[in-house]
Amino acid sequence: MRAKTKKAKLPAARKRSVARGFPRLRIAMGKGLILGPGKVDLIEAIERKGSISAASREMGMSYRRAWLLVDALNTMFGRPLVVASPGGVHGGGAQITDFGKAIAAAYRRIEQRTYAAIREELAPIYPRIGRGKE
């Protein structure tokens, strides 16, 4: 008899399901510089939580990985998307700059327009494609 195994809970940021037939959009910003859903999810989590540490916990990633992604984002655009304050007695924290908010919002608009284009092109030949992702 097999032992029952618990299903692993996905972090909140990863619960967003992608309907069948929809890509996870990645935008090449330059050689080796990719803006994708994981980095945008991290920006949004930092905005919600107010710190890189809390955002990394919410997403189920290591603090080091989150810091590396923040550094990659800030380097990618040549100006900061995330500004961090050192920790210590008063706690530190992180804020998303107006530029960072604009980048995340633009990515989400591009993502929705991409999904709409996929539905428009494929729905006439595969009607089930339009279900699930809005």
**Domains (ranges, CATH) in the chain?**
37-121 (1.10.10.10)
Question: How far is residue 110's CA from residue 116's CA, in Å, rounded to a whole number?
Answer: 10
Sign of the C-alpha dihedral computed for residues 86, 73, 11 and 15 taken in this order: positive
- The pLDDT, as a whole number, for residue 123 is 84
d(CA 57, CA 92): 16
- 99 touches 80 (CB < 8 A): yes
CA 131 to chain centre: 22
Report helix, strand and coil shares of the chain as percent, to nearest 5.
Answer: 50, 10, 40
The answer to whether the predicted template modeling score (pTM) of the entire model surpasses 0.85 is no
Q: What is the pLDDT of residue 90?
A: 67
Tell me the mean pLDDT per 10 residues along the chain, length 134: 47 48 82 92 97 96 96 94 81 92 97 90 80 51
Q: What is the pLDDT of residue 49?
A: 95
